Amino acid sequence: MARVQQGCLALGDITGYTKYLAGTELEHSQDVLADLMNVLVAQMRGLLHLAKLEGDAVFCYEHEGEADASTLMAMIESSYFAFAKRLQTITRHTTCDCNACRLIPQLNLKFMVHHGQFLIHEIAGSRELVGREVILVHRLLKNAVTEKTGLRGYAMLTRPCVQRFGLDPAALGMAEHVEAFEDVGEVTGYIHSLERRWEEEQRRQAVYITPGEGVTLSEFELPAPPPIVWDYVTSPAKRPRWQPDTLRVEQRNPRGVAGIGTTNHCVHGDFEVVEEILDWKPFQYFTERSQAPFGSGLFTTEFQPVGNGSRTHVTLRFLPDGGSEVLHAMEAEVLPMLRHFYELSRENLVLLLTAVQAAATERAQSLSG
């Protein structure tokens, strides 16, 4: 028998698609939808579990404790960025003048994110999530957010979700919003403008160590999707589980979640390493400035999906302050020490993520009964 469980419930919905479909050629419009849905699924699945595709929406869920505030917000924003970038690419590169291609800029993306109880039932060979909270998150798709705010690209996070993940709506620039439904009652949530975040993202100057610049300290594959690997590599609570000689990581976040401006104080026994995030592009790469006893410089950690996305290729590059002369001076002692450190990190991560993935599979099977 299926057991009651709880976790995050997330719906990513392509807005404007019904109107778009009514005024376009069916064959081309379906090609566009399939393209955009693939982009959305690729971003959401990994951190969350795919429940089902629902026409122009993707429904995912989390088992309690699998995600934290930073990775949840990273998933939402990276999904919107990937969607918006794909819309731009299709629009710029298309040479077709049919309505399906001409009206693509009218499409947008919204998220409904909730937290609560649900059951997973096996029905006709497929998994179905059921329960009041599942109904609630679907009801939220029909809302007055655009009417009241003018936003078409946004995320609505319900109060239970915000409370569960310890999010600070004010620090994130979220506005309170209330909806009411006959069957599930009044629902209070907070609106996060993804349109504004996309504008900020496009103005942002990248800080990225390119291949061939600086030195590549390590390259390896890990047995988990990029969102999961990202979570374990960036989470201050999880880093001591795999990072050698790390007692704890103290993190300070100006927005309440990790991102540009975040600082980490990594305590290693009798010394500390201070890291400042300069660039943050979930789940692709991040760049930080590190100050340590051996010196200071930039580190870029890059994540690339392998095959069907179930594995991740990780590359770590280093560019010391002072450039090539300082880098040359580090060749005898510092670089071998860093390479050894990241080799131990790789070994620990492989063991940890293998166990995590196996436990997640076993848990999902037991909970679905």
Question: Looking at the chain, how many residues does it have?
Answer: 369
The per-residue pLDDT for 243 is 96
pLDDT in tens, 122-163: 877 778 999 999 999 999 999 999 999 999 999 999 999 999
The per-residue pLDDT for 99 is 73
The per-residue pLDDT for 24 is 66
Q: How confident is the model at residue 369 (pLDDT cuts 50, 70, 90)?
A: low
Please state the rounded mean pLDDT for residues 2-17.
Answer: 92
* Rounded alpha-carbon distances, angstroms, from residue 185 to 101, 290, 332: 40, 50, 67
Instruction: Considering only CA atoms, give the Rg of the chain.
Output: 22
The per-residue pLDDT for 20 is 78
Q: Are 194 and 77 spatial neighbours (Cβ–Cβ below 8 Å)?
A: yes
Q: Which residues are bridge partners to 281 per DSSP? A: 285
- Determine the Cα–Cα distance for residues 49 and 62; give it in Å rounded to an integer: 6
> Which is more confidently placed, 1 or 127?
127
Q: Are 243 and 316 spatial neighbours (Cβ–Cβ below 8 Å)?
A: no
The per-residue pLDDT for 124 is 75
Domains, the chain, in order of start with CATH, read 5-202 (3.30.70.1230), 206-365 (3.30.530.20)
Question: For 310, which DSSP code?
Answer: T
pTM equals 0.91
The per-residue pLDDT for 46 is 87
* pLDDT of 358 above 60: yes
Q: Are 164 and 62 spatial neighbours (Cβ–Cβ below 8 Å)?
A: no
Q: How confident is the model at residue 262 (pLDDT cuts 50, 70, 90)?
A: very high
Q: Which residues are bridge partners to 189 per DSSP? A: 158, 177
- Determine the Cα–Cα distance for residues 19 and 21; give it in Å rounded to an integer: 5
pLDDT in tens, 174-232: 999 999 999 999 999 999 999 999 999 999 999 999 998 999 999 999 999 999 999 99
* pLDDT of 269 above 90: no
* pLDDT of 360 above 90: no
The per-residue pLDDT for 1 is 60
Please state the rounded mean pLDDT for residues 20-41.
Answer: 81
**Residue 30 backbone dihedrals phi, psi, to 5 degrees:** -70, -35
Instruction: Determine what percent of the chain is predicted with pLDDT higher than 70.
Output: 96
* pLDDT of 305 above 80: yes
Mean pLDDT of the chain: 92
Question: 69: part of which helix (H) or strand (E)?
Answer: helix 69-93
The per-residue pLDDT for 85 is 95
* pLDDT of 294 above 60: yes
* pLDDT of 23 above 70: no
Q: Which among 51, 157, 33, 198 is positioned nearest to 107, based on CA atoms?
A: 33
Q: Are 239 and 249 spatial neighbours (Cβ–Cβ below 8 Å)?
A: yes
pLDDT in tens, 56-114: 999 999 999 899 999 999 999 999 999 999 999 988 877 777 777 777 888 999 999 99
